[in-house]
Amino acid sequence: MSDRAPTTWPDVRLVAAREAGEKLRSKGFILSTLLFLALVGASVALPALLIDDGPPEYDVAAVGSSAAQLLAAVPEESLDLTVREVPDAAAADRLLRDESVDAAVEVRGERLVLAGVQGVPDDLSAGLAGAAQLAGLQTALAGAGLAADEVQRLLATPEVEERLLDDGALDESVVPALSLAFALLFFFVVYQFGFSIAQGVVQEKESRIVELLVTAVPVRTLLYGKVLGNGGLALVQVVLLVLVALAGAALTGSGELTEALLGNAGWFVLFFVLGFAMLSCLWAAAGAFASRNEDLQSTTAPLQVLVIVPFFAAGYVSEGLLRTVLSYVPFTSPLIMPARLLEEDAAAWEAAVSALVLLLAAAVAVRIGERLYVSSLLRTRGKTSLADAWSGRVGAGA
C-alpha cells in the first residue's frame, strides 16, 4: 500500500492475542501439547526407571556333564545362565536351530567349544573363558595341596573402590542424549509453530478475511502479531517442556543433570527465541506465497529444508572443528551452541558471539520475510513466485 500507516503496539498485541487465544481454544493444540509433555516427561524418567543393571541373561545348552559342571561354576553376578544339559552336539544343534537356546557349550579335552547359529554373544564367550580359567586354577591349586577355603580366598575377586577427580561433572553418556534432546525440541517446536504460522496465513487468504484485515490495519501489523502470538505460545511450550524435563530429572535423582539443565536454560531460551524469530517471518512469507492450503507443501518446502538439514547436521556432527563452526552458523547455532555449553566445550563469550551473529541473521531474515509477505499477501490466485514477490510485481486479481 502506498500510504504506510504506522504499526502500533496495541494493534500488534491485539492480533497476537487472537492468534494465541484461538490456538489455546483448539482441542487439537491442547492435546498435542499434553502429549508432547508426556512424551518428554516419560523419556526423561523412564530410562532411569527401566534400565536393568543385572547381569546379561542367556539360555545355554551344555553338552555332557563336564560342560554342565563348568557352566554351574560361572558366578551369577557376571552371567545369569539358564542351563539345559543335552547328551550330544547334535541335540545341542537342534536346540540352537529352533532358538530354544542362545548358545551351546561343549568341553573337548582342553578346549572349550562354544556353538551358536550365526554368532555367539561376546560377553558370553568372555564369561565362559573366565569361568574355564578359574576352574582350571581351582583344580591346579587343589592339586597342589591347598585347602578349599584357601583356594576360595585366593581366587576371590578383590573389591574395587572408585575415587573420582571430577565427581560433580555430568556423566559423559548423558551429554549426547541431552544435546539430541535440545535439538529435537528446537526442531519440533520451530517446525510445529512455523508450519502453523504459514497455515494461519494461507487460511486468512483462502477465507478472504485478509481483505477485511488489511483495510483495518497495516499488513506489517498482521505479520508481527502472528509471529509474536505463535512465538509466545511456542516459548511457553518450550519452558513447560524444560520444566517437565527438570522435574523428571529431579525425580529420578539425576542431580547433576538438573544442575546442568538449569545452568544453561537461559542460553537455551535465548537461542530459541532468536532462532524462532529468524525463521518465523520466513514461514509467514511461505504461507503468503500460497493461495490455497494445498499449495503449502510446495511453498514451505525451502523452509522445511532450512529446519531439517540443520537438525541432522546437529545430530551427525558431534565433534571437531566443523561442529565449532556450525555452532556459529545461524541455522545450526540454536541447535549446537546450547549443547556445546552443556558439554562445557564452549565459553560464555563464544555463546554471546554466536547469539549476536544469530541476532543479525534474524534481523535480515525478518526484513526479507516481511517484504515477501507484504507483497504476496493480497495475491489470491495461484502461487506467487519468489522473484515477483521480491520485486513487488504482484497485486490482487480483478
Partner 1 sequence: MLELVEVSKSYGSRRAVDGVSFAVPPGSLTGFVGANGAGKTTTMRVVLGIVAADGGTVTWRGAPMDAVARRRTGYMPEERGLYPRMTVRRQLVYLARLHGASPAAGRARADELLERLDLGARADDQVDALSLGNQQRAQIAAALVHDPDLLLLDEPFSGLDPVAVDRLTELLRDVAAGGVPVLFSSHQLELVERLCDRVVVLAAGRVVAAGEVEALRQERSRGRLRLVVDGDAGWVRDVPAVRSADVDGPTAVVETDEPQALLQEALRRGAVHEFSPLRPTLAELYREVRA
Toward partner 1, which CB reaches closer, 126 or 209?
209
What are the backbone dihedrals phi and psi of residue 306, each rounded to the nearest 5 degrees, phi first? -65, -20
**Which residue pairs from 68-72 have beta carbons closer than 8 angstroms and sit at least 24 positions apart in sequence?**
69/135, 70/105, 70/107, 70/112, 70/128, 70/131, 70/132, 70/135, 71/105, 71/128, 71/131
Toward partner 1, which CB reaches closer, 78 or 380?
380
Strand partners, 133: none
What are the backbone dihedrals phi and psi of residue 113, each rounded to the nearest 5 degrees, phi first? -105, 125
Toward partner 1, which CB reaches closer, 27 or 163?
27
Residue of 129, 215, 218, 183 lying closest to 310 (CA atoms): 183
Q: Least CB distance from residue 276 to partner 1, whole Å? A: 24
The residues that touch partner 1, with contacts defined as CB under 8 A, are: 1-5, 11, 14-15, 18, 22, 26, 203-204, 207-218, 378, 380, 395-398
User: Do residues 225 and 11 touch, judged by C-beta distance below 8 A?
Assistant: yes
Q: Least CB distance from residue 198 to partner 1, whole Å? A: 16
Toward partner 1, which CB reaches closer, 18 or 97?
18
Q: Least CB distance from residue 396 to partner 1, whole Å? A: 5
Q: Least CB distance from residue 218 to partner 1, whole Å? A: 7
Q: Least CB distance from residue 27 to partner 1, whole Å? A: 11
What whole-number distance in Å separates Cα of residue 187 and Cα of residue 190? 5
Q: Is the dihedral of CA 329, 347, 245, 21 positive or negative?
A: negative
What whole-number distance in Å separates Cα of residue 340 and Cα of residue 319? 10
Cell readout for 344 is: 562445557
Q: Least CB distance from residue 296 to partner 1, whole Å? A: 16
What whole-number distance in Å separates Cα of residue 186 and Cα of residue 180? 10
What whole-number distance in Å separates Cα of residue 92 and Cα of residue 95? 5
Strands 111-115 and 103-108 come out as antiparallel
Torsion of CA 64, 67, 72, 74, to 10 degrees: -170
What whole-number distance in Å separates Cα of residue 245 and Cα of residue 258? 9
Toward partner 1, which CB reaches closer, 155 or 216?
216
Q: Least CB distance from residue 292 to partner 1, whole Å? A: 13
- The one-letter amino acid code at 83 reads V
Toward partner 1, which CB reaches closer, 22 or 171?
22
Q: Least CB distance from residue 3 to partner 1, whole Å? A: 5
DSSP state of 305: H
Toward partner 1, which CB reaches closer, 178 or 214?
214
- The one-letter amino acid code at 48 reads A
Q: Least CB distance from residue 366 to partner 1, whole Å? A: 22
What whole-number distance in Å separates Cα of residue 253 and Cα of residue 263? 17
- The one-letter amino acid code at 197 reads I
